[in-house]
Amino acid sequence: MNVTYDKAAESSDITLNGRSVCIVDDDHLYRGHLAALLGQAHIRTMEAGDSFTLVQVLEKEMPDCILLDYNLDAENGFRLHEQLKLRFPHLAPVVMLSADESQRTAIKAFRMGFYDFLPKRNLRLEEITAIIQKTIIRHDSETARYDEVSALRKNALFDDLTGMYCRDELDTKLAHVAKSAAKLRTKFAIFSICLADYQTIGTNYGIANADEILRSFAGKIRTTIRADDFCGRFDEDSFRYVMDRNVSDASIIECQRRLTEKLTFSHHLKSVELQIVPLIRVSVSSDHGDLAQMMQSLAEQQQQQLDALRAESDPNGWSALPDGSLPASAGVAEVKERRKSVRMRTLKPAFIAVEEWSSKINCTVRNISDGGARIRLEQPLALPEYFLLKITRSGPLRRVRKCWHINDEIGVEFCDEAS
């Protein structure tokens, strides 16, 4: 892989000579002051006092960086930034300028996607050029990374999440194997390997955690299959492993045993332990005829297992199966939640406080443990990742992190000790 963007990110000696910066401020005297200041560093400047003029400037030439004032007369810098991102797909990196030096404004600027934040008072040349330089380096790095990943994906043989063959390449290889087997009158086997609760894990614990588990799942497949066989990602949560050398009943049984053993593992999140067991089925060419029939047979078997899995699911929790409901040999994926701390079912009034908001949000705590709690809001509401929670009127105000959020239900973990 080309690592140009990595080197760019590490470099701190790029020259600003000839680089362009657009200064957006409704105070023409301050714009002139900044332009003169940047001119000392041989930076080309463009100026705009409102959104209309700014759009005209950007349509003519996209600068290397934009310095955008927080308040443009009657216009808000945050709202204008969002409008610019919609209008210009390749918008230059934007740094916020503000006379409001409060931490709250700076934090909001970073959350809204600004590259950096500069207070307008007592701004020195060294400070502003350092920020502009850092911003341009970061933007160049991100652009190079995006371009490279896009180019790789266009010609990708492998899925970028799991490292397995992508679906198109898998289909191509399968067709070649089927054609060769028909010509040589040999047989081959296709294993369907599924992480059945991928979507459930994503819903309850976030897509990042679900992808992390899927990546680990795929890695274990790679280390288990034979060197002369191949495997690819078939769809969101399943893989197809093809055995086309020395295929026999004994080799198929042994392979299924090894896969089941290797793919049964525990995955630890911060507050829970998930036990992963694979859903595995196999189809053999001599048993099911052509490739299309084999794939159909696998799809039907997998759907039957998923239906059985859902029929046995616990309506009061996300766990796929209660202990002992089906043996592992049945091939059904069993994903159980094993909490590291005891959870108590409760129903307590509480409220949420967000640092940026002056109002409090009433809610109800339904389950609680030493590590976290399950909260129900009075109505669905978007909340930041971190906020404050007070359980009962006399309880402590605790900082919590949002682990998952489904409609009006939120799962949080406690980030500090009760105070």
Query: Tens digits of per-residue pLDDT, 64-105?
Result: 999 999 888 778 888 888 889 888 988 999 999 988 877 888
284 and 373 share a domain? no
Gap between the Cα atoms of 286 and 189, Å rounded: 9
Confidence of residue 310 (pLDDT cuts 50, 70, 90): low
Gap between the Cα atoms of 297 and 295, Å rounded: 5
Return the higher-pLDDT residue of 244 and 122.
Answer: 244
Q: Say what the pLDDT of residue 306 is.
A: 66
- Is the pLDDT at 9 greater than 90? The verdict is no
Average pLDDT on 295-315 reads 66
Instruction: Name the residue with tokens 């996300």.
Output: 318
Gap between the Cα atoms of 309 and 328, Å rounded: 12
The b/e string for 304-330 (b: 16+ C-beta within 10 A; e otherwise) is ebbebbeeebeeeebbbbeeeebeeee
98 and 198 share a domain? no
The CATH number that applies at residue 82 is: 3.40.50.2300
The H or E element containing residue 16 is none
Name the token pair of 257. 């045993």
Length of the chain: 419
Query: Would you give the distance in Å from CA 229 to the centre of its chain?
Result: 31
Residue 343: φ, ψ to 5°: -100, 130
The H or E element containing residue 367 is strand 360-368
Q: Say what the pLDDT of residue 349 is.
A: 85
CB-CB contact of 363 with 395 (8 Å): no
- Is the pLDDT at 24 greater than 90? The verdict is yes
Q: Say what the pLDDT of residue 3 is.
A: 38
Q: Is residue 65 part of a domain?
A: yes
- Three-class SS of residue 99? coil
Gap between the Cα atoms of 192 and 182, Å rounded: 21
Identify the CA nearest to 134 among candidates 107, 114, 106, 163: 114
Q: Say what the pLDDT of residue 311 is.
A: 56
Q: Is residue 419 part of a domain?
A: no
Return the higher-pLDDT residue of 304 and 41.
Answer: 41
The type of residue at 92 is A
- Is the pLDDT at 322 greater than 50? The verdict is no
Q: Is residue 276 part of a domain?
A: yes
Average pLDDT on 237-263 reads 90
| Cα dihedral across residues 19, 20, 23, 24: positive or negative | negative
- Three-class SS of residue 21? strand
Q: Is residue 158 part of a domain?
A: no
Q: Say what the pLDDT of residue 317 is.
A: 36
Which among 289, 305, 339 is the end of a domain? 339
Q: Which of 188-192, 306-310, 332-336, 364-368 has the lowest mean pLDDT?
A: 332-336
The CATH number that applies at residue 396 is: 2.40.10.220
330 and 203 share a domain? yes
Gap between the Cα atoms of 400 and 168, Å rounded: 43
Beta strand 189-194 with 279-284: parallel, antiparallel or unpaired?
Answer: antiparallel
The CATH number that applies at residue 327 is: 3.30.70.270
Percentage of the chain exceeding pLDDT 90: 26
Highest mean pLDDT among 28-37, 262-271, 327-336: 28-37
Which domain covers residue 227, as residue numbers? 167-339
CB-CB contact of 133 with 141 (8 Å): no
Q: Say what the pLDDT of residue 14 is.
A: 78
Q: Could you read off the pLDDT of 172-228 as tens digits, one per residue? A: 999 999 999 888 888 899 999 999 888 888 877 778 888 999 999 999 999 999 888
Q: 23 has which bridge partners?
A: 47, 67
The structural domain count of the chain equals 3
* Residues 301, 305, 306, 308, Cα dihedral to 10°: 140
Return the higher-pLDDT residue of 147 and 62.
Answer: 62
The H or E element containing residue 336 is strand 336-339
83 and 172 share a domain? no
- DSSP letter for 234, please: -
CB-CB contact of 333 with 194 (8 Å): yes
Cα–Cα separations (whole angstroms), residue 224 to 29, 173, 260, 328: 69, 20, 10, 18
- Is the pLDDT at 43 greater than 90? The verdict is yes
Max Cα-Cα span within the chain: 84
Q: Say what the pLDDT of residue 83 is.
A: 87
Q: Is residue 162 part of a domain?
A: no
Q: Which of 40-44, 264-268, 335-339, 357-361 has the lowest mean pLDDT?
A: 335-339
What average pLDDT does the chain have?
Answer: 80
